[in-house]
Amino acid sequence: MTPQDLEHLRQHPDFIQLVRRKQRLTWTLTLCMLAIYFGFVLVMAFAPHVLARPIGDGVTSVGIPVVVAVIVLSFLLTAIYVRRTNKLLDPLAAKLLQETRP
């Protein structure tokens, strides 16, 4: 591709839309994951007694299901990213590719 072709691609409305959608999705999910993770770390740092409480009469503490939830939520956010990308961003990228190919 020539520099003129690249500049034309950068100015294409579909490319601009693709970049904005991808950035919005990426930042939203990143902020969600950061809130989940740092929320967990803050609870561990400032209220460890909350996570150390046993569940029922057993020896398992509340912290174990919370840790599992953090891991499951990270997988869930990844699945959301993949689904949204496949549904919204990939078709737009394919359309843009078709329009800009010589």
- 31-61 pLDDT per residue, tens: 999 999 999 999 999 999 999 999 988 889 9
- Report the predicted TM-score, pTM, of the whole model to 2 decimal places: 0.83
Residues in a beta bridge with 61: 54
Domain count, the chain: 1
Region 71-100: mean pLDDT is 93
In sequence order, what are the residues at sequence separation of 6 or more whose Cβ sits closer than 8 angstroms to the Cβ of residue 84? 25
Q: Over the chain, what is the mean pLDDT?
A: 92
The end-to-end CA distance of the chain, in Å, is 10
Domain extent at residue 41: 3-100
